């Protein structure tokens, strides 16, 4: 497996910047997508936006079903990155994704984020969305996503627009959670 990239974490200001559309899907973009999947698996996430690895491009990867079979990976040992055995993968890559339709019905999900270590909060979002995007072959696609897949893609598209999940919380709740991250020295 490709070596994972470091995750950008709060309070890094890049997380509040808007990502730029991908003009051309070339070898560099395809390599970045592979690195993003590797990073997401190693971090135990289900979705990752390119900005979270320091690249301001409108690229998202998701995998809601994967399982890690043998986790002989130790966070303090740099050379153990290649021994994750992952099964049941359903890799999805969304390039230049746009939400073209959202349901009026909403759902609440306890969201977490690799860029905000160790905090989770309830966020209300549309239950179902229709997304238009390019696949890795540059083909225009459209997909309807619901429940967890819908929450995941909306969370990641927000990243592309410089919005993070804690922005949906009340100022009081957001301040408490962000202070917790800073106090834990998780940045």
32, 45 contact by CB (below 8 A): no
pLDDT of residue 71: 55
Angle at 156 between CA 118 and CA 181, to 5 degrees: 20
Q: Is 156 a catalytic site residue?
A: yes
Rg of the chain taking only CA atoms, in angstroms: 16
Longest Cα–Cα distance in the chain? 48
pLDDT of residue 42: 93
pLDDT of residue 69: 79
Q: How far apart are CA 118 and CA 178, in angstroms?
A: 11
pLDDT of residue 44: 92
pLDDT of residue 183: 84
- The tens place of each residue's pLDDT in the chain, 187 residues long, gives 688 999 999 999 999 999 999 999 999 999 999 999 999 999 999 999 999 999 999 999 999 988 887 654 444 334 444 567 888 889 999 999 999 999 999 999 999 999 999 899 999 999 999 999 999 999 999 999 999 999 999 999 999 999 999 999 999 999 999 998 888 774 4
Q: Which one from 34, 105, 144, 156 is the annotated catalytic residue?
A: 156
pLDDT of residue 76: 39
Which positions ≥6 away from 50 have C-beta within 8 Å?
19, 32, 36, 56, 57, 58, 59, 60, 160
- Tokens encoding 111: 């969201």
Q: How far apart are CA 119 and CA 150, in angstroms?
A: 20
pLDDT of residue 160: 98
User: Could you give all domains of the chain from N- to C-terminal order, each with its CATH number?
Assistant: 13-184 (3.90.45.10)
pLDDT of residue 187: 47
Nearest 10 degrees: CA dihedral of 24, 15, 123, 21? -20
């Amino acid at each position: 497996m490709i070596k994972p990239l470091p995750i950008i974490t709060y309070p890094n200001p890049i997380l509040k910047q808007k990502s730029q559309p991908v003009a051309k899907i070339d070898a560099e973009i395809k390599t970045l997508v592979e690195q993003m999947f590797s990073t997401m698996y190693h971090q135990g996430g289900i979705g990752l936006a390119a900005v979270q690895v320091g690249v301001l491009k409108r690229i998202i990867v998701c995998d809601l079903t994967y399982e890690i079979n043998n986790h002989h990976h130790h966070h303090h040992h740099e050379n153990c990155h290649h021994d994750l055995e992952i099964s049941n993968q359903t890799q999805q890559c969304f390039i230049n994704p746009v939400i073209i339709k959202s349901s009026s019905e909403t759902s609440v999900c306890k969201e977490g984020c690799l860029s905000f270590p160790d905090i989770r909060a309830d966020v209300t979002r549309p239950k179902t969305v229709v997304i238009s995007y390019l696949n890795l072959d540059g083909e225009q696609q459209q997909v309807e996503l619901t429940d967890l897949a819908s929450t995941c893609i909306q969370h990641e598209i927000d990243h592309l627009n410089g919005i993070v999940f804690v922005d949906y919380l009340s100022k009081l709740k957001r301040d408490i959670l962000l202070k917790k991250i800073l106090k834990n020295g998780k940045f």
